[in-house]
Structure 1
Amino acid sequence: MADLRVSSGALQTAARLLASAATQTHATMPAADPCCVEYARRIQEPVDTLNLSESEIKEAVEMTETNILASLTAFQDSEQASASALMSLFQD
């Protein structure tokens, strides 16, 4: 059986790391050298494709971060409810 234990601190760290992971790539056009200008022109389309893919990945990462934090909140709420229920049982 798999061990599914994970700490809330680990989940918060994972969410924070996900939030800071994605960046954009830019190709800067060089000034005068025709060879460099042609090279930059050739790589611009693949860079744009990468940025589009990266944007889609970033959206998925943000959704994952939101889901992790929502799961953590739900877990903490149910943990608190369970603790309160147990305390009320012991008080009676």
Structure 2
Amino acid sequence: MMSNLSGGLVHELPQDFVEALSKNKKIIELWESLTPIARNEFICWVEDAKQEKTRVKRIDRAIEELLEGKKQPCCWVGCIHRTDKKPGKWQQEVLINKKLRK
């Protein structure tokens, strides 16, 4: 298993995601070909799952999407943890404000 896969711009690559990505060389190559921002989006999307079963599904889906040539997770509004840019209006309303109301 490869443990030195690249992380994202803000997020480190969690071990369960490392293990899934390390299952074959093609997936590793696809992952490493992504920009740090693109890797960050996948990691943030996985980390945002509230339940373990959702997290597992997202890791599996991330691998499927990589194999399909996608460069970011489908239906994800973006990482709210980045400090290099201001969150968009959609991110602010849906992700940030919603979490503050809980």
TM-score, structure 2 normalization: 0.24
**Which has the greater radius of gyration?**
1
Larger RCO of the pair (alpha carbons < 8 Å, separation 6+): 1
Higher helix share: 1
